[in-house]
Structure 1
Amino acid sequence: PTDSPVTDSNKIHPTNLGVLGRVYQSAEICNVPEVLQDPDYTDWCGGVTRSLLAIPIIRQGRVLGVITIEASTPGAFTVDHEYLLAQIAQQAAVALTNATLYQQIETHFREQSLLYQASTQIAASYESKAVALAVVDSIAVALSADGAHISRWDPVSRTLISQAAIQDGKPINGPSHAMITINDVPALATCLEERKTLQWSLKDAPSAADHRYLAEFRQAGALLAVPLIVGDQTLGLIEVFNYAERSFNENAIRSAQTIAIQAAIALENTDLFRRIRESHNLLMAVLNSTQEGMLMVDTQGKIVLANHQLEKLTRLSVDELIGSNLSEEKLHMADHLGYQSDELANILTTLRSRQPLQWGISTFEVEHPSRRTLQRSEAPVHDASDQLIGWLVVLRDISEERELSQTREQLTEMIVHDLRSPLTTILGSLKLLEKAQTGDEVSPVVKQALSISSRSVQQMLGLVNSLLDIAKLESGELTLSLQSLSLDVLCEELVEAYIHEANEGGIILNLNLVDGLPKITADEEKLRRVLANLLDNALKFTPAGGHVDLDVESEGEEVIITVADTGPGVPEEFRERIFKRFDQVPGIAGRRRGTGLGLAFSKLAVAAHGGRIWVEDNPGGGSAFRIQLPLHP
């Protein structure tokens, strides 16, 4: 009959009622010869049934269903019918098991396919908005939901800030979705704070506030909330909702949690990408504001960084350089950076093998677009674990500096040459006047004036000679007058010459010589001037009550001379600069103003002897200037 329950495939029959229920519960065959005598019989055929045979469908001890056949005559079914139907039930059990397994495989495959599509879609961008939209779209499709919403969590203000939402397959925006205070939605607070997935519908909402949120704010009948977790950090949550009431099953929840994991990682990556991009933009803004051209390559020679100043210096487009390799012939990088072709090739080979690189500062000339002098500084780049990750080249246009330096040198040379002759003449004339002034009639004022004039001219002549000697030492034109000399005698003479000045300043001047000090081969006049410069500086900057020590010791084939004082010392950043002409430490005043030439001369003179000079902290306070000289250069 049309009103029979068996005509409705969606009709659910209780497993504890009727003959079917009895067979399902007992898992035994039931042959009813007369249904009118069976109190459990339920009529499904409009009263025509008189006999019934029901066989359970069993697979591996589990009842999967029941097969029932009915007849309009009493006692219609025999043992043979029972056997035949039992065989059919066995085949049905196998078929149902296979169908269930196939359905599970198909469902699992669909889930995996959707998850793969979601993963691909989520990972396709590093923009947070694009990632958020991909997440809600993917999870709505995977769960066959009517909509989805993703929010970022701000634990300080305890608010959820909307990132993206989708409804009926379309992105939505609106002020009502912009921000949520979780204190108003206890279930969402629990989801975030306890880091667990929750679901509720209108009929089983955890609280009235949660019911109101679902009904009025989301206008839905069921909601699944999944937290976005990375490590110990909660980034936000995803809400999946349906208009009708729905209970999300285990498969749906598992899929949602898998997508949430991917989403959390992707959002963390977008945050990292954003911070890196901001840092990169800040770095490039700084680099582009400098006057130096900068270029960095990785260990494979690939150009990873270049600033606009480099483009001005080389006429190479920054956009074309980034991503290119230094070895590309079309770039002619060796010419632009001032390398020989084989020199650049060796650098690239060393970079690829991650071996230590030689680095320093050099200058070279370029002809295009105009003739200029460039200074190239280079250095390896290491990461936080001191692993080599690249090579940095810095170019600076020093054309103007070089021209100024050459002009200054030419002017200095001209002035020196023009001053030396008249100064020598004036000094000779003063000596003649001193000799001519004899007898008691000479006024003391005249004698003092001649003496002062003579000393002043000698100082000026010394300055001129220092400038000349520095120029000759720099050009290699000065020839040393080498001879064997005793350092102990030279040092004793110098101390004796300066002891009066030390006593006047209240300074203790000490000389410390080791026994058996060997003789050295040196230019006595140049070495005397070097040590005189150091002693003069030490006495000039040492306050009253301090001390100056001149120490000489031998180490193998070398001697070490130290002039130490208890003055203000030399700051770290000036310990190289003070050996240049006219460079002095600002803010530190001595008893008298110096010329800024003494240390420049000293460094060149020591280097001409094959030695070196440097300054370091004196353990007792102040500075310690040390000279290392070979016994026989």
Structure 2
Amino acid sequence: MTQIPRKENTDTRASLELLYHVSREIATAVDLQTLIQRILYLSIKNIGAVNGSIIAVDDGGSPVASSLMIGEEILDFTNEQIQATLDQGLAGWVVQNRQAVLIRDTSKDRRWLQRPDDAEDATGAKSVVSSPFLAQDRLAGIITLVHPEPNYFNDDHQNLVQAIADQSAVAILNSRLHTESLRQARIMTALAESARIITGSLNLSDVLQRILEQISQAIVTEAVSLAMLNQQEGNLEFIASTSNLEHNVAGKKIKIGQGIAGWVAKEKKSVIIPDVYKDERFYTEFDKETGFKTNTIACTPILSQGEVIGVVEAINPKGGAFGPDTLEVLTGISNLAGTAIQHAQLYEALQSAHKRYHHLFEGSINSILISDWAGKIQEANQQTTVLTQFTKEELYLSNIGMIHRIDLELLGNNYQNVSEDSVLAYESILNTKNGDEIPITVLVQAVNIDAKSYIQWVIRDDTDRVELDQLKDDLLSMIYHDLRSPLANVVSSLDVLKTMVETAEEPIVIKSLFDIAIRSTQRIQRLINSLLDINRLEAGQIALDLKPVSLEKLVQESVDTLKPIIENRKLKVSIEIPPKLPRGMIDEDMIRRVIINLVENAIKYSPIEGFVNIHAAQSNDFLHIRVQDNGPGIPQEKRDEIFNKYTRLQGKVGYKGYGLGLAYCRLAIEGHGGEIWVADAPEGGSIFNFTIPVAP
């Protein structure tokens, strides 16, 4: 606190001398605070005031500097005093009306802000003169002078104070602009240095630490904390703090809108809270949990592309209060932080993607090659070297067309049909270094790597598949040639023997044995034909022998074929077919096998003395056939699966099979343009349904 001597009882008539001294002082002072102190000192000394104040304001009327002189001491205005004076006191009236004012007796003028020292038992009423500093209608500040005696000041004092204000206004305005430019320069220098340091790393943890360090250096506080926004969870998570481990908030979460930080994130606004316990937004739980005592907070959002991604808090300034530059500096660093954090996150995501891609690339069981759009190989995984027997160095000197035959009709002569949106596939032959030829399937797609476009070739070794296909073809060929022809001879021979036996004297026993043999061979014949038909239907190589067929006759023949096992299980089989039901346009042999398969399944899975019902009706241009049993039924999740090849249900009933019967039924019915499905029977059991076209 500076002691400035003053001479009392100065005659106001020395106004010219005073103005001269004022002009000299303002000509030599550049610093705003120094300037207003000198003007105030000279004014009090030469006008005869006892107390006085000057408040310098910006163009918006907010205080930027102030000086208070009581007696011979220069004191500091508190922020609350300045704000109260501008909001309610005489200085505020002067700012609003922009004219000088003389109050001869403060007890009689409501414009004077009454304070405790104005009471009668204290200093009592006073005399006051006040004037604005105006420079071409721009308000630079307010000067107020006080004398403890009412009616001390007169119109001459008012005119003199106004003259001092008019002479000093330009100097105060220039000094204010100078001070502001220096302040801005300091801020810009600090932010430039912060930008250099914060953006000097792409490691997210390092970036966060640098942000905290820069804020701590720019705004000296007890703690700085940074929280990131999780939009999906609707909360903020504190991920970094400068406070010690005991008081650290890292890992703690608050909801968006909760607490001061949550409010800042929600409203996208910066805020300074001088006393947090007087603010209802303050969230006290963190202080309770950590033992830290929060008094004052400055908080600002971290923005990236206009959206909030987090907040940063500066807590408890070491000087007791935040300075006028606090929010500007904090906001500036936070803006830098938003960009730096986003870049670090993108870099980490890119690095993670590179690692995942590299892991998948090298760990793939398939060969993967990357080429440019001229076909020159740029990259190859380890499996490629195993499959082709070329080293990576040899592959990088090669063109993709040198190791396999490219389907240019599919890809285009210049690969113009290759894109990122779809995968093109074709079969080819791979040429190895040792001259071997390997059957392969090639999957081709455009890929973007490090902002450059390439072609990715995934090569799958089809050796095992081709061998299995050959084995399947050999098996089918064996069935067709080695089993079907001899079996046909057996069936023919049994038919001849049956005719001969019927003329014997005691044919019953022998005929029964022949019937069993015939039925068994017929069943084998149906199985072989179905197996062959499955392969042909899947390949689209079978031609249906379509003709009008009576469904009633076909169903009866199918049931008669199964009559022995029906009688053996004591089942009741009912057939419900309307007499005038139209004929179906079908391949008679194929549909007969479908009906036999379905009825035979119903027989096997129905209990002893159960029932099987076969029902048919017309539905538009189709005949709808249902085969119902009262067996255990089909689980809902298995109803589509059972029509696939080699699918067998696991259950208590231990019937064995190859899982081909229902697969054949599906292919045969779909080959006729119909549908097949299974549903629950009302009384329990299953209902197998299929449709076939009506004959025209």
* TM-score class normalised by the smaller sequence: 0.5 to 0.7
Shift of 1:373: 3.3
Does the alignment pair 1:131 with 2:203?
no
* CA distance in 2: counterparts of 1:625 and 1:344, whole angstroms: 50
The 1:563–1:146 alpha-carbon spacing in structure 2 relative to 1, beyond 3 Å, is same
The 1:134–1:558 alpha-carbon spacing in structure 2 relative to 1, beyond 3 Å, is same
Aligned residue identity for 2:427 = F
Q: Deviations over 1:62-113 (max 9, x none)?
A: 765699xxxxxxxxxxxxxx99998786343123223313533553565467
In structure 2, the residue matched to 1:605 is: 668
* CA distance in 2: counterparts of 1:112 and 1:152, whole angstroms: 25
Does the alignment pair 1:575 with 2:637?
no
Counterparts of 1:611-626 in structure 2, within 5 Å, are 611-618=673-680, 620=682, 624-626=687-689
Q: Deviations over 1:489-540 (max 9, x none)?
A: 3234435655775575466645454685333332212221122222222333
* CA distance in 2: counterparts of 1:539 and 1:377, whole angstroms: 51
Contact 1:223 1:241 in 2 (8 A): no
In structure 2, the residue matched to 1:326 is: none
In structure 1, the residue matched to 2:441 is: 374
The 1:22–1:256 alpha-carbon spacing in structure 2 relative to 1, beyond 3 Å, is same
* CA distance in 2: counterparts of 1:464 and 1:425, whole angstroms: 15
Q: Deviations over 1:287-342 (max 9, x none)?
A: 9766468999xxxxxxxxx9969978999xxx9xxxxxxxxx99999948994329
Q: Deviations over 1:432-475 (max 9, x none)?
A: 55555578886987665544444433333333333344455556
Does the alignment pair 1:518 with 2:582?
yes
* CA distance in 1: counterparts of 2:358 and 2:444, whole angstroms: 19
* CA distance in 1: counterparts of 2:626 and 2:660, whole angstroms: 20
* CA distance in 2: counterparts of 1:331 and 1:112, whole angstroms: 61
Aligned residue identity for 1:372 = P
The 1:618–1:102 alpha-carbon spacing in structure 2 relative to 1, beyond 3 Å, is farther
Secondary structure (helix, strand or coil) at the match of 2:247 reads strand
In structure 1, the residue matched to 2:103 is: none
* CA distance in 2: counterparts of 1:259 and 1:585, whole angstroms: 68
**Out of 83, 103, 108, which is 2:179 matched to?**
103
User: RMSD of aligned C-alpha atoms?
Assistant: 6.2
Counterparts of 1:535-546 in structure 2, within 5 Å, are 535-543=599-607
* CA distance in 2: counterparts of 1:338 and 1:589, whole angstroms: 55
* CA distance in 1: counterparts of 2:523 and 2:53, whole angstroms: 127
Does the alignment pair 1:252 with 2:329?
no
* CA distance in 1: counterparts of 2:358 and 2:337, whole angstroms: 31
Secondary structure (helix, strand or coil) at the match of 1:367 reads strand
* CA distance in 1: counterparts of 2:520 and 2:409, whole angstroms: 49
Aligned residue identity for 2:439 = R
* CA distance in 2: counterparts of 1:377 and 1:348, whole angstroms: 9
The 1:411–1:233 alpha-carbon spacing in structure 2 relative to 1, beyond 3 Å, is closer
Secondary structure (helix, strand or coil) at the match of 1:374 reads strand
- Structure 2 unaligned spans of 5+: 6-24, 55-69, 73-128, 146-157, 229-236, 251-258, 265-270, 276-286, 371-378, 393-399, 446-455
Aligned residue identity for 1:95 = A
Aligned residue identity for 1:22 = A
* CA distance in 2: counterparts of 1:98 and 1:536, whole angstroms: 107
Identity between Structure 1 and Structure 2 (%)? 23
Shift of 1:604: 4.0
**Out of 445, 461, 478, which is 1:414 matched to?**
478
Shift of 1:404: 0.7
Shift of 1:135: 0.8
The 1:346–1:579 alpha-carbon spacing in structure 2 relative to 1, beyond 3 Å, is same
* CA distance in 2: counterparts of 1:437 and 1:373, whole angstroms: 60
The 1:481–1:121 alpha-carbon spacing in structure 2 relative to 1, beyond 3 Å, is same
Secondary structure (helix, strand or coil) at the match of 2:325 reads helix
* CA distance in 1: counterparts of 2:522 and 2:492, whole angstroms: 11
In structure 2, the residue matched to 1:22 is: 49
Contact 1:199 1:225 in 2 (8 A): yes
In structure 1, the residue matched to 2:488 is: 424
Contact 1:192 1:237 in 2 (8 A): yes
Contact 1:20 1:66 in 2 (8 A): no
**Out of 650, 670, 687, which is 1:587 matched to?**
650
In structure 1, the residue matched to 2:593 is: 529
TM-score, normalised by the number of residues in structure 2 = 0.54
The 1:163–1:19 alpha-carbon spacing in structure 2 relative to 1, beyond 3 Å, is same
* CA distance in 1: counterparts of 2:440 and 2:587, whole angstroms: 36
Contact 1:570 1:623 in 2 (8 A): no
The 1:266–1:528 alpha-carbon spacing in structure 2 relative to 1, beyond 3 Å, is same
Q: What is the number of equivalent residue pairs in this alignment?
A: 508
Does the alignment pair 1:402 with 2:466?
yes
Contact 1:23 1:66 in 2 (8 A): no
Contact 1:132 1:164 in 2 (8 A): no
Aligned residue identity for 1:522 = I
TM-score, normalised by the number of residues in structure 1 = 0.58
* CA distance in 2: counterparts of 1:55 and 1:438, whole angstroms: 142
Contact 1:111 1:142 in 2 (8 A): no
Does the alignment pair 1:365 with 2:422?
no
* CA distance in 1: counterparts of 2:469 and 2:666, whole angstroms: 19
Counterparts of 1:209-220 in structure 2, within 5 Å, are none
* CA distance in 2: counterparts of 1:502 and 1:21, whole angstroms: 132
Contact 2:677 2:688 in 1 (8 A): yes
- Structure 1 unaligned spans of 5+: 28-39, 43-53, 68-81, 154-159, 166-175, 184-189, 201-209, 297-305, 320-328, 352-356, 379-391
* CA distance in 2: counterparts of 1:547 and 1:233, whole angstroms: 70
Counterparts of 1:48-63 in structure 2, within 5 Å, are 58-59=133-134
Does the alignment pair 1:92 with 2:168?
yes
Contact 2:299 2:314 in 1 (8 A): yes
* CA distance in 2: counterparts of 1:135 and 1:271, whole angstroms: 15
Aligned residue identity for 2:133 = I
Secondary structure (helix, strand or coil) at the match of 1:568 reads coil
Shift of 1:574: 7.2
